[in-house]
Homo-oligomer: A and B are copies of this chain.
Amino acid sequence: MAGFTEATAVSAGAAELDPQWTVGGRPNGGYLLALLARAAVTTAHPHPLSASAVYLSPPAPGPAAVEVEALRDGRSFSQARARLTQQGRTCVEALFTLGDLAAAGDPHFVAAAPPAVADRDTLPRTPVEPPGAGVRITMLEMVDQRIDLTAGPGDLRGWLSFADGTPFDAFSLLYAVDAFPPATFTLGSSGWTPTLELTAYVRGLPAPGPLRVRQHARMVTDSQLDQVCEVWDSTGRVVAQATQLAIHRKS
C-alpha cells in the first residue's frame, strides 16, 4: 500500500493513479487535486493556497499525464494551471494560487470556530463497505474516518486521520476536503454525487493529529447540490475550507 505522498507523486509529467485512493473503483477528486497541486508547486512557492478544479471525465487507476502551465510568477504568490489527462482525454483541469504557508503570518481575525463533534473515541470507524453505500470505498483502508450524525440534516461532522498516523500536510488537506461522504447522505439520498467543481483554500499548515471536519449541504435540488467542507487541525485552528458543486440524482 502506497502512502498518500507516494501515491500523489508526479515525475516528469507522469503520474500513476493509485487504486488505493478510490471510491467505487474511481480515484477520489481530492486525491486528484492533491496530485495536481504537487505538480504545480515551485521551490519558492511550495504550497497550494487556492485550488479550483473542474472534473470533466473520471480517470481510471493507472498511468496518467500531468501538464502544468505557469500563469503568473510573483514575489509572494504564483499562479498556475494544471491538467490531468489519460489516454489523451482531459479528466481534470485546475487553477492554483501557490505561496508559502509558513510565511503567511498568524491570523489576527478568525470567524471559523471549530464545531462541536462527539469525542473521537466514541465514534465507530467507517467501514470500507458501509451498509447501503453500494460501493466499495477503498480509500477507507488508508484513512480512519469517524462520523457524528447527530448535528442535524445535511450536516456531517467527524474526524479524519491517516490510518498509519502520517500527519496531514498542505497537499493531503486537499484530499481531506473531499474525503467525507456527500452531506446528502443524511437527507435520505444515497445516490452518486459526481463533483462538477471543487474549490479549496488551504489556510494553514496543520498541526499533527486527527482533523476535525464539517461537511454541510447548502442547497440541494433534483439536479445539483452545493456543499461546504471546513477542516480544523488538532489545535482547533481552521486549516482548510472548500466548496463543491456536484451533480445530484434523486434516489
Contact = CB atoms under 8 A, between A and B. Distances in A.
A214 B231 CA distance: 22
Contacts of A96: 54
B54 A220 contact: no
Nearest to A243: B243
B153 A109 contact: yes
Interface stretch (A30-38, A71-79, A139-147, A158-166): A71-79
A40 to B, nearest CB: 12
Interface residues of A, number: 55
8 contacts: A52-B199, A95-B95, A106-B221, A107-B219, A109-B217, A112-B218, A201-B226, A218-B238
Interface stretch (A17-25, A97-105, A125-133, A173-181): A97-105
A7 interface: no
Contact of A50 (B49, B93, B221, B245): B245
A223 interface: yes
A104 B238 CA distance: 33
A223 to B, nearest CB: 5
Nearest to A49: B245
A12 interface: no
Contacts of A97: 54, 196-197, 245
